[in-house]
Amino acid sequence: MDAIKLVIADDHSMIREGLKQLLELEGQFKVIAEASDGVECLEILSKEAPDVLLLDINMPNKNGLDVLKELNQSGNRKVKVLVLTVHNEVEYLIKAVELGVDGYVLKDSESSELKKAIMTILNGETYIQPDLIPMLNAKMISMENDYDKIDSLTKRELDVLKNLAIGMYNKEIATKLEISERTVKNHVSNIFKKIGVSDRTQAAVFAIRNNLIDIHN
């Protein structure tokens, strides 16, 4: 049986070397290339055809999530992608899942878990490190609750919330939306009740968390 071909993308050379030695020890895996940043990783993948990409999230030039996004946009993603990271924050995991990652494992996991993850995703299944799953489930439930809250808002209330979230006062919102200031005040009160917040700051956080506004513009 031919060895499973791997590419390792990580900006720390010691980690790449350690993974290479660990995985090649028994002859089951073969590291065919290494990348120290996201750009180099994409260049390698344009020339090589590995079975699995071991992908770190924090890398210079392009991070791991950017690499995953570009692989998806190419429309011809054949490689299985296993994120191998120090990040146990659920936001990174959620984003990776949204981008269609095949597996997600923390760097401090046992070598047996890493190998199991590789074999699982090669069999067409998704592998999320088991102790991360409760955190993922809890976050998904929270997100579903937020979706319900957003759906409860009228189009006008949504417009008010978006403008409130970028720091506009009631008078400014009224002028922009061509409605009375009293109407805006009533909308704000209804918004607070529907999304379960008590002030404008919490409402703004809710809007940002749910990508209702683009904070980069």
Mean pLDDT of 70-89: 85
Q: In whole angstroms, give the CA distance from residue 34 to residue 105.
A: 19
Tokens of 24: 């090649």
Model pLDDT, residue 144: 67
Whether the per-residue pLDDT at 135 is higher than 90: the answer is no
- Please give the CATH topology (third level) of the domain spanning 153-209: Arc Repressor Mutant, subunit A (1.10.10)
**pLDDT for position 141:** 65
- Report pLDDT digits (tens) over 161-171: 999 988 899 99
pLDDT at 137 over 90: no
Structural contact between residues 47 and 68, judged by C-beta atoms closer than 8 angstroms:
no
Per-residue confidence band for 152, with pLDDT thresholds at 50, 70 and 90: very high
For residue 217, pLDDT beyond 60 = no
Q: Which residue, chain included where needed, has tokens 């417009």? A: 159
Output 91 or 149, whichever has higher pLDDT.
Answer: 149
Average pLDDT, the chain: 89
4-129, what's its fold?
Rossmann fold (3.40.50)
Reduced 3-state DSSP string for the chain = CCCEEEEEECCCHHHHHHHHHHHHCCCCEEEEEEECCHHHHHHHHHHCCCCEEEECCCCCCCCHHHHHHHHHHCCCCCCEEEEEECCCCHHHHHHHHHCCCCEEEECCCCHHHHHHHHHHHHCCCCEECHHHHHHHHHHHHHHHHHHHHHHHCCHHHHHHHHHHHCCCCHHHHHHHHCCCHHHHHHHHHHHHHHHCCCCHHHHHHHHHHCCCCCCCC
Q: Select the more confidently predicted residue: 60 or 144.
A: 60
Please check the confidence at residue 193 and state whether its pLDDT lies above 50: yes
Residue 173, pLDDT above cutoff 50: yes
Instruction: Indicate the domain borders of the chain.
Output: 4-129, 153-209
pLDDT in tens, 9-20: 999 999 999 999
- Picking from 28-37, 88-97, 141-150, which range would have the lowest pLDDT averaged per residue? 141-150
pLDDT category at 202 given cuts 50, 70, 90 is confident
Per the CB < 8 A criterion, the answer to whether 41 and 48 are in contact is no
Percent pLDDT > 90 in the chain is: 61
Does residue 59 have a pLDDT over 60? yes
Domains 4-129 and 153-209 share a fold: no
